Amino acid sequence: MAQITEAAHHEEEQNCTGIDNRKLLFWVFLSTDCLFFGALISTYMVYRGQSLVGPYPIDILDIPLTTISTFVLLCSSFAMVMALSATQKDDIKGIRIWLAATAIMGMVFIGFQIFEFWEFAHHGLLISTNLFGTTFFTLTGFHGAHVSLGIVWLWVLFILSFRGKVTSARALDVEICGLYWHFVDIVWIVIFTLIYLVGGFDAGPVITG
């Protein structure tokens, strides 16, 4: 048996690309999530105009209202950028303000979504009413779940900032959360465009062929 000796001390982490492992993992995860939303959005588009009974999108979608919540969500991406910038500068007050601002704007968006779901339910659109209800609630519901997860993540970072764990040395934590947040925002731009702006005026079943 070979002699038991000490290992040579090459303690610097192996890294071929210079991109941090966690950041790389997260980018690949986001591409995975793209396919996830891609499949959900495709389902929505395939079933566009296929509902046999109402309510149809034109009866029920409130485009101005959702435009407001979309605006809030897009603004939250700005706050997220400011939070990261504050973290890199170790501006602890800025970190807390901008993290909280991002989370609160996300919560406003979710508030609008809950209100919207509630309204739709009152107008007789449930997840089991027709294909529009099925695909609409599933797609926007999964997006809402993503946003909610992001909000929890932001509040966790906010709490950690009081324990001195959000510093420029650990800015990657905030950066990765930011990647997620921006991604969720971008997905919403696609969903808003397709459901509300393109498909918002769909009425009854489209007879094709």
Partner 1 sequence: MATIATKQSEGNTFSVIWSWITTVDHKRIGILYFVTAFIMFLVAGIEAGIMRMQLATPGGNLVSPDVYNQMFTMHGTTMVFFAIMPLNAAFFNYIIPLAIGARDVAFPRLNAFSYWTFLASVLFMNFGFIVGSVPDGGWFAYAPLSEQPYSSNQGMEFWSIGLMLAAVSSAVAGLNFVVTIVNLRAPGMTLMRMPVSVWMFFVVQILLAFAIPVIAVGLIELTMDRLFGTLFFVTSAGGDPVLWQHLFWIFGHPEVYILILPPMGIISDVLPAFAKKPLFGYPFIVFSGIAIGLMGWAVWSHHMFTVGLGPIAVSVFTITTMLIAVPTGVKIFNWIGTLWGGSIEYKSAMLFAVGFIAMFIIGGLSGVSHAVAPSDYQQQDTYYIIAHLHYVLFGGAILGIFSGIYFWFPKVTGKLLSEKLGKLHFWITFVGLNLTFFPMHYLGMNGMPRRIYTYATEFGWDNLNALSSFGYIVLFVSMLIFVYNIIKSYKSGEEAGHDPWDAPGLEWTITSPPPVYNFSELPVVEGRDPYWIVKRRAVAEGKEIPGPQPLVDPSTVHLPDPSYWPIFTSVALLILAIGFMIEIPVWFVKYPISVVGGLLVFVGVLAWSNEPPTKEKDH
Interface ranges with partner 1 (CB under 8 A): 1-11, 14-17, 19, 21, 24-25, 28-29, 31-33, 35-36, 38-40, 43, 46-47, 50-52, 127-128, 130-131, 133-135, 138, 152, 156, 205
- Please report how close the Cβ of residue 127 comes to partner 1 at its closest, in angstroms: 5
CB of 31 or CB of 168, closer to partner 1:
31
Least CB distance to partner 1 at residue 1 (A):
7
Spatial CA neighbour of 111 closest among 150, 79, 66, 77 = 66
What DSSP state is assigned to residue 47?
A: T
Q: How far is the CB of 71 from partner 1 (least distance, A)?
A: 29
By beta-carbon proximity to partner 1, the closer residue of 17 and 164 is 17
Which of 35/169 has CB closer to partner 1?
35
Shortest Cβ 68–partner 1 spacing (Å)? 28
Residue 123 has φ and ψ, to the nearest 5°, of: -90, 10
Residue 89: both structure tokens together: 């500068």
Alpha carbons 23 and 177: distance in angstroms, whole number: 10
- The smaller minimum CB distance to partner 1, of residues 38 and 67, is found at 38
Amino acid at 105: M
Minimum gap (Å) between residue 78 Cβ and partner 1: 26
CA 70 vs CA 75, 105, 184: distances in Å: 9, 10, 12
How many residues make up the chain in this entry? 209
The DSSP result for 99-124, as a single string, is HHHHHHHHHHHHHHHHHHHHHHHHTT
Nearest residue to 176 via CA among 19, 12, 71: 19
Question: Residue 44 and residue 48: Cα distance in Å, rounded?
Answer: 6
By beta-carbon proximity to partner 1, the closer residue of 72 and 190 is: 190
Return the closest-CA partner of residue 130 out of 53, 60, 205: 53
CB of 204 to partner 1, least distance (A): 11
Nearest residue (CB) to partner 1, 40 versus 82: 40
